[in-house]
Structures are given as C-alpha cells and as structure tokens.
Structure 1
Amino acid sequence: MIVTPPAAHVSDLPAPAFRGRIGRDARSGHYAVPGRYRLHLPTAWPDGLRIAVLHSLLGLDTVCPAAYLPAVPDCPEGVHPALRPLYEASAHRYTGPAAAPVLSDAWSGRIVSTHAPDIMRDLARRFDSDRPSPYPCGAESEIEGVERMCARGIEEAAQRAGAAGGEQAERDAALGTLLEALGALERRLAGRTYLIRDEVTAADVELWVTLVELDTVHRNHLDASAVRRIAGHPTLWTYARRLTAHPAFGAHLDLDGIERRHRARCQGLEAAGAAVRILDWAAHAAR
C-alpha cells in the first residue's frame, strides 16, 4: 500500500511507482485479455512517446486502446484529471500528482504500471500480434545496452553540457561524453538501416526518442558550436529522418506539445544553439 506524506505540497511530491506486470495466464492476476487494459500517454514526454511508437509498431490499437493526454494538463498543480480516479483507487488516501504514462486495468479500475520499460516489454510479449517483435530473441542485452547509452551517454551528458550553473570544464567533459556516444552510434549505423537488426526493434525506438529530445529540448541550452558538432554525424541524423517518416514514429511526434512541456518545466537559460536546428522534424513526419 502506498501512502503519500500529508505534509508536502502536491506539486512537490513524486508520483508513486507502480510496477505490476502482465503475466502469461490467470494465475498471474494480470493476464492478457483484449480490451482489458488501457494506455494513458502524453506523447510530448519521452516515456509516453516511446510507448506510443511501440504500441503502433505492434498494431495494438483495438487490443489495448490508448488515450493520448496533453503535454501540460490544463488544471492546477499539473494533474491529469483522467488519471486522478485511477491513482485514488490504487493508493490508499492518495493526494499526490496523477502522472503519466499509465497502464490501467479496466476490470479493477486500478493502475497496473507506470514503469515505461516494463509496459513496453509486456505489450510486446503478452499480446498476440502479427507484427515482428521489437524485442527479438537474443537481442535483450543489445537493447539494454542502447538504453544505457541513450540515458547516460546522450540524455544525461546533454543535460550536464547545457547546465548554466556548471563549470566550463564540467560542461566540456559532458559534451565530450555526448559526442563520443554519437560517434559510436554513427559508426554502428554505417551501412545499416536499423540499429541492431534488419528490422525495427525497441533499440530504434529508444534512440529515435532520444534524438528527438536532443534536437528539440537539449539543443536550446547548448552553444552554436556544440550543436554543429552534434549535427556533424550525417549517418545518425539520416537514420533519424528515415524513422520519422515511418508512420508508427512520425504520427506520434507532438512538436508543439514538446515545446509547451519544455517551457513549462525548464528553468535553464536559452543559448545560441537554439537557433541552429538539426532536423525539420515536422516536414519528415508529414511524409
């Protein structure tokens, strides 16, 4: 049972982490039944976008319907009204934020999971789909390696490189880490259409969402020279353009929502790199 401390203000509290899993059969409690579960996704946020892309790749629109949420809730304290009943039913005396993404169970009216990696793997492994699996047999360690590289080598490094309060040496070191990761990916993609297999996998979903964030969010806090060095990986950004033109990817790209989310949440200073756009994401998504 999860109880939120009453003394803290709602907007200062993290949402509880629900880590339920969908099992193979009825003995697991949560098991795969068409129409039983529902996704609640803000695609302007990285985790929501990852799940939405994978959900479309699997063709699960009728098996596990998805409800798409606004980037920034139009209500006080950043609460998604549609999720409030789910949180209240799932956590005793819950008064904290109603955050997404959420996988909910229509039978109980409660939350199964808010953990994006678990949700993605359960969607791929527990529901029948005639599409190729984004987690092919024997590829799990490679996919996890890409997830770590994206999180540490790109996402965290880009945040440190753009931190206004950091020391110059620290920012330079972070930029070096970021460029090293991009260079490794550039070499890995040479002569390849996708990252680890001959078809789209969860590794491609992870990297694509990370590159979207790098160009639409983190770029705003880097200087122009840094952004040009980041853009100097033509194979990587050609790959990003190609995936954006794929319906399962580009159809979920909410650029306006990403900008609203960034403005509402980010307290960093805008730098000269904000004017150096790497990709025209909207144009490639339209194709």
Structure 2
Amino acid sequence: MPAILVSEVGPRDGLQSIDPILPLSVKTAWIDALVAAGVREIEVGSFVPAKLLPQLADTAAVVAHALKHSGLTVAVLVPNARGAEAALAAGAHKLTLPLSASETHSLRNLRRTHAQVLEDAAAIATLCKSAAYDVHFEGSVSTAFGCTLEGVVTERKVVELAEALMAAGVDEVGLSDTTGYANPAQVKSVVRAVHAAIGTQHLTGLHLHNTRGLGLANVLAGLDVGITTFDASLAGLGGCPFAPGASGNIVTEDLVFMLEAMGLDTGIDLPRLLDVRKILAAALPDEPLYGFTPDAGLPLGFAVARG
C-alpha cells in the first residue's frame, strides 16, 4: 500500500490558538501517546518569544523529551534566524519557516516583509548546513490559497515565493491553507504550478484547514497530484491567531481513518490514536474537541491490512 505521512501539529498549531497553557507533563504524555500510536512526525512547538506565545514557552524542554523517541521526526516552527538558532541548539530535526503569500499577513504574523523573511531563510539555510547533525529545513508558503486580510492570493505569487525560498536554500517548500479558503480544484492547480516551477520532489506536503468543511476534500485533491505528507491536529485543535476567522485544523483522527479506509498506509494504529484524545479531554475540559470518527466510532469489522 502507498505510504502517507501524517504530521501531527497539535502541540504547536493547536496550542498556540487556545488560551489555556498546558503543563509540560501533559505535553510529554501527549507526545508519548502519539508515538505509541505510530505517529512518525510531530511538530512539538515553536521557538517564539514567550511573551507572544506563552503556550509554547517550554518548547526547548518539549523537544528534549521528544528526542528520546527513536525514529520520531521532531519538528518545530521558527519565525526567524534567532528562533532557528534556538531550535538547532535544542536538536530539532526539522525546522519550518512560514512565509505568508499575503504580505499583510506576514507583517501581522511575523512583523516581517517578504524580503526580510527571505533574508532569514538564507541565514537559516546557512545555519542548518553548518549544524553538527542532519537538519531538514522547510519553507512554508502560508495563506497560499487566500487571505482573510488581503483576499485573493494569486497562483503566480505562490510560485514566485516558492522559487524564492528554494533560491534561499530551503530543502523543500510546503503550502499552507492558513485561512481555510482552499477548494479541491484550487489545490490541484496551485500544487501543479509549484511542482512545475521547483520540481515534485521539493513540494510533498500540505497544511490544510477545515474551516469551511473542505479539509478532507482538499486532502483527496492533494493525493491526486502527488502530495504524500499532510499536517493535521488531534481533535482539530488550532488555527491562526493572526488570521481572523481562520479556525479548524484537519482532525488527525478523521484524516487517518479516511486514508486507512482507502488502503493508504499511515503506519498509525487508529484505535490507539483515538485513545490519545482522552489526554486532551482531561487537560482541556473547556475546549471543544472535534472529529466525526471519534464520535461515531470505527465501522463494524474495520480492519487495516498491512502488507
């Protein structure tokens, strides 16, 4: 069966969008349970100033714990070169730098222009190449399918920024539907355009939101054009605090169910993944937890045939 990587982003994207601050012990228990369920990549936090995102102030400690799991790719988001230095000092395997296609969103999110973010990308690429261990550096084009602040984002702009990121030295480019504006036809068109510009091997992942109910439909569109990595958040936690109305990461449980039901191998034990939700339910009693599969349960006789 074809293998698909489900990258869990809840400990970063999910927690940055809610007010409660989870204790380190809960975060580490969450990560341990995800790994036990077969999750192979987790974005565990972000190296941003604690005053901006106090929910992620302990990211270095979370990285240190996650690194104890052999075979787990420990990913983090970095807003600039200083954040990348901290991520490398902590030993993170994968660094993602967001570059918003909408410059208005970039200024709101990072307080940086396109030119400034690209300068940071070049500096981070140099840092990664000189690191004492292998590091994967991704440049993520955020608001790639539309922006709540600027509206329409052109395909040409996304391609232009993807090319600029590759020129700055990133290993790959990701596309993010930060605002939940994307539709399946648009996903196919934009991915094909970026593939044509930078090569299919340099765009393998999508970060999609379910804000308008099209998250899984957009995953199917991505699969059709060769995407093999999809970000998702347990219980659908998350959004973007700097993009008004942009809520709703894809629910990891629903994504894994769909992929496995289609015969695509995620390597994730779905019943064990559903149990992980209990950790969040106990730690965040006042936060809504989303997902159809957890509510309905697995179909009678549902089984995954590993080959």
TM-score by length of 1: 0.33
Higher helix share: 1
TM-score by length of 2: 0.32
